Amino acid sequence: MNDGFLGTLRLAFVALQNVSFAIVVGALLIDGWFAREESPWQLNVSKRLHVAMRTAAFSALAFSAFAFWIHSALMSDSALSEAAPAVRSMVEETGFGHAWLASTVLMLSVLALALLPSAALTRLRPVIWLVMMGIALARSHMDHPVDAGAFSLPVWADWVHLLAISVWVGLVLVATYVVAPRLIDAPADAQRASAAFIQSLSNAATFAFVALFLTGAYNGWRGVGMPGNLLASTYGQLLLLKLALVILAAALGGHNRFFEMPRVLATLKRSSLESPTRPLRRFATVLHIESVVLAGVVATAAVLASSPLAGT
């Protein structure tokens, strides 16, 4: 294997780690919404959310370890099978390694908490949120913003950016592949909960998009330095690609919010014999397309974080 292949493999693992982290965030949020009321249907959805959370937490740990091992091997110009000393040196002697170790220990804590019985997991949700925010802060110390100093304004801006994109991506992925199939088959007495979920999903995704756009504009300007670098540098071109994908995903989300969602909510809230299945399927189809676009955003963000800033 050559460095080119290993570098690409590392970026793939970073992207998968980001997706896994986002799924944990999305599952936590949605589980909190469904905990407002209890019914057999909602408890079944919560169990599926907990499974998704546990799987994603384990996956985030595994992908992070793979990516860090490859990164250490590349930095020391050693083979993967001989990279153990480089990994130890990276953890002990570099700020990047310290931040990675902190994020790994915290994610181990999330996994341990997620493996608790569902009742205990529900009670400890605020603790998991605090740990997840700590993981995001540690990871913000592994990218370009830390060049301005630990706990500097760019680091905090990147922290908010990471949380915002994780909320948006996580909500869409979990809603698409875990919750939406349950909504279509939900009993009549679960329609009020379904309507509340869809409204909460739209509101949270909109808030996350605003935070993502504002912090992304700040981070992007710091990264390119001047408008000319947007097209003249690889970093700027990747930034434009990410922006285009974000705008496309936002357009899809806007379509759901202003066209599909009103129809779904009207059907769910109306006491009639009209089935909500058809509008729910259209809503879920748009969510599915949005999830694919957002996967592209995550992949582009992984490459962007590993690319040299414009002018460097």
Tokens of 81: 């099978």
- Least-confidence region, from 35-39, 142-146, 148-152, 166-170: 35-39
- Least-confidence region, from 162-176, 183-197, 277-291: 183-197
Instruction: Read off the pLDDT of residues 19-60 as tens digits, 9 standing for 90 and up.
Output: 999 999 999 999 999 988 788 999 999 999 999 999 999 999
Q: 1: exposed, middle or buried (C-beta count within 10 Å: 0-12, 13-18, 19+)? A: exposed
Average pLDDT score over residue span 296-307: 94
Instruction: Give 312's pLDDT tier (boundaries 50, 70, 90).
Output: low
pLDDT at 64 exceeding the cut of 90: yes
Q: Which residues contact 244 (CB under 8 A, 6 or more apart)?
A: none
Q: For position 203, what pLDDT does the model report?
A: 97
Q: For position 189, what pLDDT does the model report?
A: 86
The C-alpha atoms of residue 255 and residue 286 are separated, in whole angstroms, by 8
Strand stretches in the chain, DSSP E: none
Average pLDDT score over residue span 205-231: 93
Average pLDDT score over residue span 246-271: 92
Q: For position 273, what pLDDT does the model report?
A: 59
The C-alpha atoms of residue 304 and residue 297 are separated, in whole angstroms, by 10
Q: Which residues contact 253 (CB under 8 A, 6 or more apart)?
A: 172, 202, 205, 206, 209, 290
Instruction: Give 269's pLDDT tier (boundaries 50, 70, 90).
Output: confident
- Least-confidence region, from 1-15, 97-111, 201-215, 249-263: 1-15
Instruction: Give 151's pLDDT tier (boundaries 50, 70, 90).
Output: very high
pLDDT at 106 exceeding the cut of 90: yes
Q: For position 225, what pLDDT does the model report?
A: 85
Average pLDDT score over residue span 260-275: 82
Strand stretches in 171-282, DSSP E: none
Q: For position 272, what pLDDT does the model report?
A: 56
Average pLDDT score over residue span 69-84: 95
Average pLDDT score over residue span 246-252: 98
For the chain, the domains span 3-305
pLDDT at 1 exceeding the cut of 50: no
- Average pLDDT of the residues of the chain: 94
Q: For position 2, what pLDDT does the model report?
A: 47
Q: For position 96, what pLDDT does the model report?
A: 97
